Structure 1
């Protein structure tokens, strides 16, 4: 703070100045430029050992940094190579799997129609076998039919045996039963079985609609079809049943 000048203040400041001492405790002397130069010479120079130490430290730091950088680059390269190799192997494995799956799908796609064709062919063969068997049966029946007809023509008296079997197997046919036969068989039956028919009460009737070798018995009690066609159909049915039993 500014104070106004006064003689008292001047005396006080002079007294304080007289009591001031040198803080360092040394006697004051005049400043010398040479002393400053000598002090600078004593503090600035660095000895050779310190210099070499600095160089070694710098070189060691450089070597450490270089080693660290090389180690990082080597690790990065090995990691990249390892990752590339693993990725390559995984990609190759995936590609192989996809190729195999595509190949299998192509094979399946090509095999399915062939399998279906083979199944259809097998079914067709079975049908052919069955058809052939049926045709063979029909052929055998046709041959048998012709042989039976030939036998009837050569042995017309076969109808006599048929009539006798009817008379013994159907005794319940009463109430004026009538026996219908072919006109050619009528004369033969009348000649050989006249008495037996009268005794049984059967009436012999000529019917040109019937095939020779067969007959038909009709009464109020019922009817018995012993025509040649009916008897031959029974034979055919029995043959077919045996043939179907073998297939099962």
Structure 2
């Protein structure tokens, strides 16, 4: 037979009533729920603090970078502005220097232009004189070639001069007188005109004397009128015999 240890309470008959122990005592050791919440909250706060720290660091870094870029941009802008200002000042100084240097030349140019204008006026006047002299010479040659021109002149006086009243006397160069007598004597006699020779008159001209005055249609007089009209373009052309060479 096996040996039993009779010293144990069960064997000695020492029995006790069994009762279920408390669950809290039987459950394994686990963190309390409040402690878990607190731990999670602490970790969240720690992460948030770390995030805020990183965010502030990034803000500071961006601020420093922006400052450096702004400083560089400002320097570049200032440099460009300085260059532009220097360019403008240089141009202004160059213009002023050019003005000072060219001012005597401008006065000289004005003097030269005035001299040219005076020369133009003088040359123009000389050309007019030359043209008049040439015209007078050509007119004289035309009268020499066609002396009968005097007939047209005296006929115009006879029929177109209403101021010649009374018994007008027509004076002509002797050679022109012969032409008029041979061609127009009857017309002048019918009008009561008297024909007279005057050696002081050039051929191609005449002079009329009457009660109302004298009409100078000599070549010299008509030539002066032509010269006056040519030298003064605004002068009105009087027309008539006195206005014709």
TM-score range, shorter chain: 0.5 to 0.7
Counterpart for residue 114 of structure 1: 105
Residue 203 of structure 2: which of 197, 212, 221 is its match? 212
Counterpart for residue 193 of structure 1: 184
Counterpart for residue 213 of structure 2: 222
Counterpart for residue 151 of structure 2: 160
Q: Does residue 127 of structure 2 align to residue 136 of structure 1?
A: yes
Question: 1: distance between equivalents of 2:115 and 2:147?
Answer: 46
Q: Is the 8 A contact 1:177 1:201 kept in 2?
A: yes
Instruction: Please state whether the residue corresponding to 2:230 is helix, strand or coil.
Output: helix
1:91-106 to structure 2, matched below 5 A, reads none
Instruction: Please state whether the residue corresponding to 1:212 is helix, strand or coil.
Output: coil
Q: Is the 8 A contact 1:178 1:217 kept in 2?
A: yes
C-alpha displacement of 1:190: 1.6
**TM-score normalised over the length of structure 1:** 0.52
C-alpha displacement of 1:230: 1.9
Residue 126 of structure 1: which of 117, 120, 136 is its match? 117
C-alpha displacement of 1:210: 0.9
Counterpart for residue 225 of structure 2: 234
C-alpha displacement of 1:107: 6.3
**TM-score normalised over the length of structure 2:** 0.53
Structure 1, gaps ≥5 residues long: 1-95
Question: 2: distance between equivalents of 1:135 and 1:107?
Answer: 39
C-alpha displacement of 1:236: 2.6
Counterpart for residue 44 of structure 2: none
- Alpha-carbon distance change, 177 to 243 in structure 1, aligned in 2, over 3 angstroms: closer
Question: 1: distance between equivalents of 2:120 and 2:234?
Answer: 12
Question: 2: distance between equivalents of 1:117 and 1:207?
Answer: 59
CA offsets per residue over residues 142-187 of structure 1, 9 Å max, x none?
Answer: 1111110000001111001100000111134122211111122111
Structure 2, gaps ≥5 residues long: 1-88, 236-245
Counterpart for residue 169 of structure 1: 160
C-alpha displacement of 1:114: 2.5
Instruction: Please state whether the residue corresponding to 1:121 is helix, strand or coil.
Output: helix
CA offsets per residue over residues 196-235 of structure 1, 9 Å max, x none?
Answer: 1111111112111111101011111122111112222333
CA RMSD of aligned residues (A): 2.8
Higher helix proportion, which one? 1
Instruction: Please state whether the residue corresponding to 1:211 is helix, strand or coil.
Output: coil
Q: Structure 1 segments of 4 or more deviating over 6 A?
A: none
